[in-house]
Structure 1
Amino acid sequence: MKFLKNFFERTEPLVQKGAKYHWLQSVHDGFFTFLFVPKQTSKTGTHIHDYIDLKRTMSIVVMALIPSLLFGMYNVGLQHYKAIGEMAAVGFFDMFLYGLLKVLPIVIVSYVVGLGIEFAFAQMRGHEINEGFLVSGMLIPLVMPVETPLWMIAVATAFAVIFGKEVFGGTGMNIWNPALLARAFLFFAYPAQMSGNAVWVALGKGDVPIDGFTGATPMADAAAGNITFSAADAFFGFIPGSIGETSTLAILIGAVILLVTGIGNWKIMLSTVAGGVVMGILLNIFAVNAYMELPFWQHLFLGGFAFGTVFMATDPVSAAQTEKGKWIYGFLIGILAILIRVVNPAYPEGMMLAILLMNTFAPLIDHYVVQGHIKRRLKRAKVTA
């Protein structure tokens, strides 16, 4: 690491304004400050100084995503060999290696395309490189079906970065969660490639005729009243689904990391779960079909509910900012996620749309919370006057 630090310090004068490679300043600074804590500090005014900055914050979130990523790789291999009927002939490492070879290209494409665009915009503007894509670049692959074509990953990533972030001013200015925006873009632009049974399980070329394979997610099975999974399988993640969303256990490990380090917001997580539980109970009480009869607590393990609660709803940029607003914001996400997935027969999920909808209304929630505080203080002022 000392060698790298010396290299960056020696080459720093070469990328300064007016130097030969000045056009690489943003790239040089981006890599340098990612690997090492910046040596700059504020010189005027009053500032809060801390050992952690945005890059270190984003790095912790990526660390929290690692359990979901690793389990997702294993589960991709597990579902593959289960589908082709060769479970008895392979072991853990065979499954993990297969999943690694399927998932790693998706992660690489996401980072190469996304960071490439971020670097280009930073150079054009003469600004520092935004750190936010460190997390978005990992989230995008984890919310995708494993059989999503790489070119679609590239197009969705480009759309999310350009239209979800850069047009608003970059990291910290975006209205919607970029990773969910990429998922929504693909869902509505290429529905044939993003839905159905085939996209959730990697079969491999020539392994199984598609007509003889049924790999519907538990969400689709539950919507059809054909529950073929156990609660334990849903919790541990041994089910088909998006790469990083199947294992609630792995997601909870990530949640612990975020909460212990103070990065994640427990109020949004708790209120989202509360909203999901309330709506699930109401649907159980007034059930008129098999999906509404699904025990409310099982909704918390299925689909993207747990993943969205921990890693998407808590996005500090697109979520509500006021303390009371965070409770309202999370609760409504939980309510809407379960309502959309159960009531809408054409879309047996709901977390993506619920979070994006509440991203849109988060500023409005904060506005009314702030206005409420102002009105209460004005009333107290009149009473004491």
Structure 2
Amino acid sequence: MKLLRALLDTQAHHFEKGGRLERLYPLWEAQDTILYTPGEVTGAAPHVRDALDMKRLMMVVVVALAGCIYMALYNTGYQAHLAIAAGAAPLDVWQTDAMRSMGLPFAPDDLWACLVHGALYFVPVLVVTFAIGGFWEVLFASVRGHEVNEGFLVTGMLLPLTLPATIPLWQVALGVTFGVVIGKEIFGGTGMNVLNPALTARAFLFFGYPAQMSGDAIWIAAGTSPDGVSGATILA
């Protein structure tokens, strides 16, 4: 660890003020403070002096969300398999082809199959959320000259947990863009925003694309059929 610390210290001057990579300082600071606790401490009251810095505190939240993500993976696959076992058709999407190519059954009592099937829907949404949201975080941090805030790790995990399994990825990209830019960055960033970025993104998608965000069928990754049909009666 000392060797890595020494290596980072020898390269730090390139990213500091006046260095040739000064504009990339937010990225440098982000990886450096993830690997090592920052050396800065609070100078006086009323700030609490503690060995636990903000990044470590947010990582506690990330670890706490791990159980929620596990349940999201399992339940997405489980609900789809329950519907398929009851007569619903598997969706004509690449996730279904992937399940068949791996030889996994659409069985609600198969834990591994439920987890894999759920991951095939959840992980792409998570990746798009982190990629697009991370881009905006880094862009605003670079323009404003401050560090990348670690709170986006939590936002990037909360948003996918609120979205339907079958939501198009381009809608995820639009939603997280709206949530980060309009819900947080225009107010000055973390600590100055009056809106929750994840819920702002969720609200934008709900009102902007209600067909993909409302109803019961969207939450099940299977081709469920309606329970009934409405129409004119013979007396009409």
Aligning the two structures, in what range does the TM-score lie when normalised by the shorter sequence? 0.7 to 0.9
What is the CA distance between 1:146 and its match in structure 2?
1.0
What is the CA distance between 1:7 and its match in structure 2?
4.0
- Residues 197 and 123 (structure 1), Cα distance of their counterparts in 2 relative to 1, 3 Å cut: same
- Residues 151 and 87 (structure 1), Cα distance of their counterparts in 2 relative to 1, 3 Å cut: closer
- Residues 192 and 88 (structure 1), Cα distance of their counterparts in 2 relative to 1, 3 Å cut: closer
Aligned residue number for residue 78 of structure 1: 78
- Residues 33 and 193 (structure 1), Cα distance of their counterparts in 2 relative to 1, 3 Å cut: same
Q: Which moved more, 1:183-192 or 1:13-22?
A: 13-22
Distance in 2 (alpha carbons) for counterparts of 1:176 and 1:89: 38
TM-score where L is the length of structure 2:
0.80
1:1-385 to structure 2, matched below 5 A, reads: 4-42=4-42, 45-46=44-45, 47-85=47-85, 88=107, 91-203=110-222, 208=223, 210=224, 212=225
Distance in 1 (alpha carbons) for counterparts of 2:110 and 2:153: 33
Distance in 1 (alpha carbons) for counterparts of 2:148 and 2:70: 28
SS of aligned partner of 2:41: coil
Whether the 8 Å CA contact 2:73–2:122 is kept in 1: the answer is: yes
**Which consecutive residues of structure 1, in runs of 5 or more, have no partner in the other structure?**
215-385
Number of residue equivalences: 207
TM-score where L is the length of structure 1:
0.51
Letter in 1 for 2:72: G
Distance in 2 (alpha carbons) for counterparts of 1:76 and 1:5: 42
Distance in 1 (alpha carbons) for counterparts of 2:117 and 2:48: 47
Whether the 8 Å CA contact 1:131–1:171 is kept in 2: the answer is: no
SS of aligned partner of 2:182: helix
- Residues 88 and 45 (structure 1), Cα distance of their counterparts in 2 relative to 1, 3 Å cut: closer
What is the CA distance between 1:9 and its match in structure 2?
2.5
Distance in 1 (alpha carbons) for counterparts of 2:217 and 2:35: 40
Distance in 2 (alpha carbons) for counterparts of 1:146 and 1:122: 31
What is the CA distance between 1:48 and its match in structure 2?
3.1
Letter in 1 for 2:148: I
- The RMSD of aligned alpha carbons is 2.0
> Which one scores higher on RCO, CA 8 angstroms, separation ≥ 6?
2
**Which consecutive residues of structure 2, in runs of 5 or more, have no partner in the other structure?**
86-104, 228-236
What is the CA distance between 1:68 and its match in structure 2?
0.9
